[in-house]
């Protein structure tokens, strides 16, 4: 899937509240890089960051996948800047998918959050 195809699919599938100015920067095989932006005067809340994690994991694993297990480690507070999400599939086993996501403030240098997850495809293929 190309960056443009994933962008259109995410915009069509996700609720508007979860988009946060979403921009697909890179999409290669099972590795995805997304950028999210704050609206003027807003700050990143924990629920918003968890929404970004869910979006990043599903962008890598497939939008038909749903979280079954999630482990999140917050490494430092979010800054009032764009959030860069790097996610990838670690392993596929039937309809189970194991993936991880890293969130960074502005640039992919110093992570602020790491998540590992298991997801299940709703429509095994």
Q: What is the pLDDT of residues 33-46, one digit of tens each?
A: 999 999 888 899 99
* DSSP three-state, residue 29: coil
Question: From CA 54, how far away is CA 100, in angstroms rounded?
Answer: 10
Question: Residues 49-86: pLDDT tens digits?
Answer: 999 999 999 999 988 999 999 999 999 999 999 999 99
Domains and CATH numbers, the chain: 3-121 (3.10.129.10)
Entry pTM:
0.92
In the structure, what pLDDT confidence band is assigned to residue 124 with cuts at 50, 70 and 90? low
Q: What percent of the chain has pLDDT over 70?
A: 98
CB of 93 closer than 8 Å to CB of 41: no
Beta strands of the chain (E only): which ranges? 23-28, 31-36, 65-74, 83-93, 96-105, 111-121
Q: Mean pLDDT over all residues of the chain?
A: 92
């Amino acid at each position: 899937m190309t960056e443009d195809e994933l962008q259109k699919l995410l915009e069509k599938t996700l609720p508007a509240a979860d988009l946060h100015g979403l921009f697909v920067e890179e999409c290669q095989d099972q590795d995805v890089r997304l950028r999210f932006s704050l609206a003027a005067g807003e700050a990143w809340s924990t629920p918003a960051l968890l929404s970004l994690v869910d979006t990043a994991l599903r962008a890598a694993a497939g939008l038909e996948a749903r979280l079954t297990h999630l482990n999140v480690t917050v490494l430092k507070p979010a800054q009032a800047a764009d959030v860069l999400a790097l996610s990838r599939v670690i392993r596929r086993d039937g309809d189970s998918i194991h993936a991880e996501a890293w969130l960074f403030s502005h640039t992919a240098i110093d992570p602020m959050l790491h998540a590992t997850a298991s997801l299940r495809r709703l429509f095994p293929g």
